[in-house]
Amino acid sequence: MNLLVFEDEAWRNFKQLTYMRPVYRILTPSGPLIRNILKNFRDVQVYAYAREYLSRVESERDPHMKFNSSPDQDDEALLINGLARRPELVASLAEKTVGREFILLAKGRFLAARLRGERIAGVERPTEIIERLASLVGAIETLEAPPESIYQYPWEVLDGQPVSVPRMGEELQLDNRVAVLGDPANMSIPATCEIEPFTVIDTRRGPVILGEGVKVESGTKLIGPCVIGDDSIVYGGRVGPHLYTGPVCRISAEIEYTIMFGYSNKHHYGYIGHSIIGEWVNIAAGTTTSNLKTTYGEIKVVLDGEAIHTGRQFLGAVIGDHVRTMIDTSIMTGKLVGPFNVLSGVVAKNIPPFTGINFTREMYELELGAELRVVERMMRRRGLKPSENYLELIRHLYELTRPERQGHLGHRSDHP
């Protein structure tokens, strides 16, 4: 069977994160969305459909996945939205309806479908998949899933639950000067990790799961639920609860209720909470996200000019890839920061991609060549080199987002 993972127009709601990746590569507390989808399906040929400008980088990320390629029409196809919040629901429905075609909706969007192969013959773009599905509504069995079955906005990703404690081979034998609060069975620490004495691991609220090669320095309190990605370093202080990171991150207190994609750096003091941080982000000393209004009221987010009711009392920031903050940057509640930004001072409004904030709090356009050089320097620090396809993606994104920032240049960042 062919499994087609596609994105719809809701990618724009996540654009701070999805300008640089398809929606199915968003990191959640239980791992990347694509991994959560694929673990529910076995023996399938995977096809992925997203914006064409991502194709070359996607081919590097996963050479085995067919991207924007027409599937074999002789095989039955199961389609699933890359923003599926409950892929196990789709897997269960598919198992119970073997041989039957169906379309599954959630919030008026296409969550999933099972179709005969000829119905999707020749599709090579996500928009073509949406058009085919729209033409079949009512013609085949059309079902409705619970609204919470699909992600609509980025802050919803923070509500996910971490994976259960994995079974492992050899585990690290902790120094007897490491304190464990709660059940030791609720933590997973590979033998390749290093946990220095006078670390506290608190599993009373949830599991603490460390990836391979993680180092935790003295003076750290790890509070579960918490997942730290491979080869990351924790430098001390209160870390967690509800911190979930990708690989090769640098982490220091205070940080909680946050998702941090891989290769990002928060080495210094400052509070980060109820936030999502993309890849290759550098959080300078003293940078703080506000996550609670002084009125204790609901936080609204301005998304493409529309004020969205989040229903949340706590919400920090959504920060895209390759953002750097200057020391003592303050980011107000519910702010959306696009990729490739240099932030300083008070950030009281959303910041479009490739925008800097100068010392008079005015926004200006960053120079593309300088940003490409910064990317190369940042990656070199981690022993990596950007591919030409990755650099070309950045060049394309610079032109793609130029209209988005034009209306902001020269305006102050500290005036809402």
DSSP 255-293: EEEEEE-TT-EE-SS--EEEEEE-TT-B--TT-EE--B-
Task: Kindly state whether residues 215 and 145 are assigned to the same domain.
Answer: no
- Same domain? For 183 and 141 the reply is no
The last residue of one of the domains, among 133, 152, 171, is 152
Share of the chain above pLDDT 70, in %: 100
- What is the average per-residue pLDDT within 281-302? 97
For residues 159-180, b (16+ Cβ closer than 10 Å) or e, as one string? Answer: ebebbebeeeeeebebeeebee
For residue 232, give both structure tokens. 């990351």
Mean pLDDT check: name the lowest of 71-75, 226-230, 248-252, 290-294. 71-75
- Structural tokens at position 160: 């996910």
Single-letter amino acid code for the residue at 15: K
The percent of residues above 90 in pLDDT, for the chain, comes to 91
Q: pLDDT tens, 5-58?
A: 999 999 999 999 999 999 999 999 999 999 999 999 988 999 999 999 999 999
- Residues 372-395 have pLDDT tens digits of 999 999 999 999 999 999 999 999
Exposure on the CB side of residue 360, measured as CA atoms within 13 A: 5
Distance from C-alpha of 116 to C-alpha of 100, rounded to nearest angstrom = 9
* 226 and 90 in a common domain: no
* CA-based nearest residue to 393, from 335, 322, 318: 322
Average pLDDT of 297-316?
Answer: 97
Q: What is the pLDDT of residues 156-190, one digit of tens each?
A: 999 987 777 877 667 888 999 999 999 999 999 99
Identify whether residues 116 and 232 lie together within a single domain.
no
pLDDT given at position 71: 87
Same domain, yes or no, for 112 and 226? no
CA 400 remoteness from chain centre: 21
The parent domain of residue 235 ranges over 179-406
CATH code for position 391? 2.160.10.10
- Same domain for 134 and 184: no
140 and 216 in one domain?
Answer: no
User: Does residue 184 sit in the same domain as residue 39?
Assistant: no
**135, 30: one domain:** yes
**408 Cβ partners below 8 Å, 6+ apart?**
351, 352, 355, 363
Residue 165 in domain: no
Helix, strand, or coil (residue 92): helix
Q: How many domains does the chain have?
A: 2
Q: What is the domain-level CATH number for residue 32?
A: 3.90.550.10
